[in-house]
Chain A
Amino acid sequence: MKSMIRSMSMVLIALFAISASASAHNWAPNGPVKLLIGFAAGGGADTQARLIAQDIEEAVGWEIIPEQITGKGGLNLAMALKDEPQDGTVIGMVATETLGYNLRAADVGVGPNDFTAIATTAGFQMGIVAKSDMGWKDFGDVVDAAKSGRAIRFGTMSPRLSDLAYLLGKAQGIELNIVEVKGGKAVMNGVNGGDMDLGFMAGIQAKGVAAGDLVNLASALSVPLKQTPNAPLMKDYGLEFNSDGYFVFIGPGGMDKEVRDTWIAAISNAVKKEGSRSNGMISKAFGGPTVISGDTLQAQIVKEFEDAGRLMAVASQ
């Protein structure tokens, strides 16, 4: 009986949600939606994407099927997504740098305007993180250790971050052994397992930092980290670049505006609704949702694509 009441109320909620969304936007997918995920399975970003999918499914009743297309910094996903139908039945989640630095570096004649930017969900909480039993308090201690002759292994998870790590070392006059792995979780495993001394983590470190196992040595953003506001910025160590970026939902280029806006509403409602699965996860790992959407987001990504050239030029000097 109890379950019957529950399922009936679920149906009512779903019907209500559908009618509610229908009143705002007329579009709804006419079948299951494929959600391509450009991040390694089991990592923080992957979890986030799946939770958002679940929240949307529950809220509006669309069937969303997640599919992993990883590799090449999200470009495998982008290339697969590019030629999919623009009717909103296939969307993907990547990081903003996929359509910025990575697309620029790949130089395959495809630009950010070959995609439709839908909405961001959260900003990176990118920190430079080490295990607390290394005894380092901030990145300055790492510089001292390197200057005293210690070989330092720096874990990164994308070519852009590798460039940043290289330039950071260069600015401080130290040489870092930069180990590029797949995903922030692999960096965390490497740091925890002793394969790396420190590395970039975009939010996955939150629990470890809270528990005292890990420490944010510096913020790799243009602003302080929400969790460790006192950690210095990379700017303080003489680096003019930062790793600002977001998790972003994208679609194939030329997506109908109504379709896009319906998706923006669905994603935004899911991540902003207090008590939803994705909201809980995003609040813990990334200090809360950040939704930038539509034309503003499109313009921002185009700018990131154009700016990427400067970082590449400096790093290759």
Chain B
Amino acid sequence: MELLAYIPLGIDAVFGPASRISILGVALPLTPLMVLAGFVLGIVVGATPGLAGPMAMAVCLPILISIFGYGADALLPVLGFLIGIMKGATLGGAVPAILFNIPGTPDAYMTTLDGHPMAKEGKAYQALRIAHLSSVSGDTFSDIVLIVGAAFIAVAVEEWLDLPEKTALLIFSLSFIAAVIGSSVGKGLIAIGLGLFTAFIGTGEEFYPRLTGGTAILAEGIPIAAAILGVLIVGEIFKSLDDIRREGIKPTLAPQRTAGDSGKLSWSLLRRLFPHIGRSALVGTAIGALPGIGSTLAATIGYTLGAKIHARKRPFERPFGKGAPEGVAATEAANSSVSGANLIPTLSLGIPGNTAAVFLILAMDSIGGFNPGPSVFRTSAEINPELVIVFGLFTSMIFANLLNWTIGGVFMRHIGILTRVKKHILLPIVLLLTMTATYIQYTRLSAVVFLLFFGALGYAMRKLDISPLPFVVAFILGNQLEETARQAFAATGGDAFFLFNRPVAAAFMLLSLITIVVMSRQRSREIP
């Protein structure tokens, strides 16, 4: 079957009669409902400072799995819900940034620079509308690139990369992530090393479990979800609670008055915004397609680039940082266009691009029936069920975008109240939910112990200023790296230098080295 023939199959998997459930006598398609629910939850979570999209995804995933089970029909509703959260949270993050000068999500920090000054001038609604328009435009653009690009990249990888090259590509991805994320290249490498070490516990080809110290609890390997939730979510909660303990509880802010602010965007304003939206969408998409770099960097680059061009082309107008509508547009378009493109490496290579993608991979891994990687895009005489899922996923994303264009803006303008929710009350609730959710998924107490252990590790890493994301990506890719390397070694007839004596593999290895060396030099220069 041709690739294009999967488009109707994907749409059918989402909206078709087989996927409908009966609610009050009306048959409704389940996946779109889940996307809607996730989307609304995402906006709420994004708008609540101290919570973030990944946190909601983490808590919801085990609960969703316990509801929908491990069947193949569970994949699309669960993934749809998670995608809804991902998209909603990006949008919601702008709300507290504009209204209260608090970024709801880290990538909304740049939005505070212009959005909040606008709100102080009584243009809060206008700023929110600009944020919505830019966010949705960026997101839609990014999704289109994903839909067109993912299959192309997967097919190219399958066509051109042999086992040694695939091994080298994984090594390059890990080096790249170590080099660009976090406070220094060295710390990134430490996190990668720790992640690989953790992945290697209890796994491998040999019949006896390695690195377990003879304990039965480690013999099956580390429970993946518990380790990831621990480092990413529990670690963050521990750190935030520690911050609250040190700094005390901050008083609640009063919202800015927005009387007389209709928020209508005039055509002349829109014409000024479009170039910024377009440029930032390109920047965000390009960054999103590279594994490991998240939306925060995209927002920073989109904003800085926009500021420079704005200052050069329109020196007589209000500069970025003083309440320029263009500033909001440049940031929001950039950070929102990361989410779609991020799924390019996720789906076509199985390499998670950012934290949100980590949870999508975790969902696919836990439910089963879908193994992201080049083979997903294979077309043959029979129907490839994984490819149907991919197109179902694309359909869900387009549906989420439609929601975003239509009801997203209305929602986002009415949830400013959430920023009053107090962090010191919220975080223990999230901690309890995460522990419960982990227990539900594994139904054994040892999983909760693992969760807390990795939570402590995540806390320690944050205290030492080591980003946990390289750890998680290395943990996810560790076994894939080992397997591919073993296979490459075997396939080349036991050639120990398979990474270096083939041009493409050698190029990836060289690039890995260059990335590490150049980035660490550049970074050491940045430190005063």
Chain B residues within 8 Å of A177, by CB = 490-494
Q: Which of B138-146, B294-302, B378-386, B405-413 contacts A (4 or more CB under 8 A)?
A: B378-386
Which residues of chain A have C-beta atoms less than 8 A from B490's C-beta? Answer: 177-180
- Cβ of B438 to closest chain A Cβ, rounded Å: 15
Least distance between A109 CB and chain B CB atoms (Å):
12
Query: Which one of B220, B365, B382 lies within 8 Å of A208 (CB-CB)?
Result: B382
- Which residues of chain A come closer than 8 Å to B10, judged between CB atoms? none
Given contacts A72-B207, A76-B219, are A193 and B378 in contact (CB under 8 A)?
yes
On whether the beta carbons of A180 and B205 are closer than 8 Å, the reply is: yes
Partner among A65, A68, A102, A179 whose Cβ is within 8 Å of the Cβ of B207: A102
Q: Does A195 contact B (CB under 8 A)?
A: yes
Does B162 belong to the interface (CB within 8 Å)? yes
| Distance, CA A136 to CA B370, complexed state (A) | 31
Whether, in the assembled complex, A181 has its beta carbon less than 8 Å from a beta carbon of chain B, the answer is yes
Least distance between A41 CB and chain B CB atoms (Å): 3
A11 to B66: give the CA distance in the assembly, Å.
23
B105 interfacial contact with A, CB 8 Å: no
Among A107, A179, A182, A211, chain B packs the most CB atoms within 10 A around the CB of A179
- The residue that B70 contacts in the complex, of A3, A50, A107, A179, with Cβ under 8 A, is A50
Give 27 CB contacts A-B under 8 Å: A40-B371, A41-B365, A41-B367, A42-B368, A42-B386, A46-B369, A50-B70, A71-B203, A72-B207, A80-B220, A108-B207, A108-B208, A159-B207, A175-B493, A177-B493, A178-B490, A179-B490, A189-B375, A189-B378, A194-B158, A194-B162, A195-B491, A207-B381, A207-B382, A208-B381, A211-B380, A212-B381
CA of A153 to CA of B492, assembled, Å:
8
Interface: A213 (CB within 8 A): yes
A151, B493: Cβ atoms closer than 8 Å? yes
Bound Cα distance from A165 to B226, whole angstroms? 39
Q: How many A residues touch B, CB cutoff 8 Å?
A: 46
Given that A68-B368, A193-B374 are known contacts, is A213 also in contact with B381, CB under 8 Å in the complex? yes
B221 within 8 A of A: yes
- Contact across chains for A193 and B207 when beta carbons are under 8 A apart: no
B163 at the A interface (CB under 8 A): yes
Chain B CB within 8 A of A75 CB: yes
Chain A contacts for B491, CB-based, 8 A:
153, 177, 179, 195-196
Produce 1/0 per residue, A179-209, CB < 8 A to B: 1111000000110111110000000000110
Complex contact A192–B380 (CB within 8 A): yes
Determine whether the beta carbon of A213 is less than 8 Å from that of B380: yes
Which chain A residues lie closer than 8 Å to B381 at the CB level? 207-208, 211-213
Residue A14 lies at the interface, judged by CB distance under 8 Å to chain B: no
CB-CB < 8 A to A194: which residues of B? 158, 162
Is the CB–CB distance between B203 and A41 below 8 Å?
no
Interchain CB contact (< 8 A) of B487 among A75, A76, A179: A179
Q: How far is the CB of A53 from chain B (nearest CB, A)?
A: 10
Interface residues of A in 203-235 (CB under 8 A from B): 207-208, 211-213
Known A-B contacts: A72-B206, A207-B381. Give 16 more (CB < 8 A). Answer: A42-B369, A42-B370, A42-B371, A54-B71, A71-B220, A76-B209, A102-B207, A106-B207, A153-B491, A179-B490, A192-B375, A192-B378, A193-B374, A193-B378, A195-B487, A208-B381
Bound-complex Cα distance A72 to B220 (A): 10
A50 surroundings in chain B (CB, below 8 A): 70-71
Q: Hey, which chain B residues are within 8 Å of A126, CB to CB?
A: none
Cβ A73 vs Cβ B483 within 8 A = no
Interface core residue of A41, A68, A105, A196 (most chain B CB under 10 Å): A41
- Establish whether residues A181 and B483, one from each chain, have CB atoms under 8 Å apart when the complex forms: yes
Chain B residues with CB under 8 Å of A181's CB are: 483, 487
How many residue pairs link A and B with beta carbons under 8 A? The number is 94
| Top 5 closest pairs, chain A to chain B, by CB | A41-B368, A211-B381, A106-B207, A189-B375, A42-B369
Residues facing A in B199-244 (CB within 8 A) are 203, 205-209, 216, 219-221
A66 within 8 A of B: yes
Residues of A within 8 A of B487 (CB): 179-181, 190, 195
Q: Does A69 contact B (CB under 8 A)?
A: yes
Chain B, 481-512, CB within 8 A of any chain A CB: 483, 486-487, 490-494
Residues of chain B at the chain A interface (Cβ within 8 Å): 22, 69-71, 158, 162-163, 203, 205-209, 216, 219-221, 365, 367-371, 374-375, 378, 380-382, 386, 483, 486-487, 490-494
* CB-based nearest A residue for B207: A106
- The residue in B22, B205, B207, B380 that gathers the most chain A C-beta atoms within 10 A of its C-beta is B207
Measured between beta carbons, the chain A residues less than 8 angstroms from B207 are 72-73, 75, 102, 105-108, 159
> Please, which residues of chain B bring their CB within 8 A of the CB of A66?
70
A46 to B487, CA, bound (A): 23
CB of A17 closer than 8 Å to a CB of B: no
Give B65 Cβ to nearest chain A Cβ, in Å.
Answer: 11
For the complex, give the distance between the alpha carbons of A50 and B69 in Å. 11
Q: Which residue of A lies closest to B70 (CB)?
A: A66
Question: What is the minimal beta-carbon distance from A116 to any residue of chain B, in angstroms?
Answer: 21
Q: Which of A41, A67, A193, A195 contacts B371 (CB 8 A)?
A: A41
A contact residues around B367 at 8 Å (CB): 41
A79 interface residue per 8 A CB criterion:
yes
CA distance A171 to B105 in the complex (A): 64
Cα–Cα, bound, A207→B158 (Å): 22
Which of A42, A46, A73 has the most C-beta atoms of chain B within 10 angstroms of its own C-beta? Answer: A42
**Closest chain B CB from A243 CB (angstroms):** 18
Bound-state Cα–Cα, A195 to B69, Å: 34
Are A182 and B208 in contact, with the CB atoms below 8 A?
A: no
| Bound Cα distance from A112 to B386, whole angstroms | 36
A105–B216 Cα distance when bound, in Å, is 19
Inter-chain CA distance A94–B320, complex, in Å, is 63
Which residues of the partner chain A approach B368 to less than 8 Å between Cβ atoms?
41-42, 46, 68
A3–B219 CB distance below 8 A:
no
Smallest beta-carbon distance A176→chain B, Å: 9
The distance from the CB of A88 to the nearest CB of chain B, in whole angstroms, is 18
| B158 nearest CB across to chain A (Å) | 5
Inter-subunit contact B158/A41 (CB<8 Å): no
> Shortest Cβ distance from B279 into chain A, in angstroms?
38
Looking at the assembled complex, report how far the CB atom of A188 sits from the nearest CB atom of chain B, in whole angstroms.
9
Interface residues of A in 20-57 (CB under 8 A from B): 40-42, 46, 50, 54
Q: Which residue from chain A places its CB closest to the CB of B495 in the assembled complex?
A: A177
Q: Provide the bound-state CA to CA distance between A189 and B350, in Å.
A: 15
Residues of A within 8 A of B206 (CB): 72
Cα separation A82 to B381 with both chains bound (whole Å)? 42
A27: min CB distance to chain B, Å: 23
In the complex, A76→B369 CA distance in Å? 20
- A42 CA to B370 CA in the complex, in Å? 6
Least CB distance from A276 to B in Å reads 16
**Residues on the B chain within 8 Å of A211, using CB:** 380-382
Judge whether A182 and B493 touch: CB under 8 Å. no
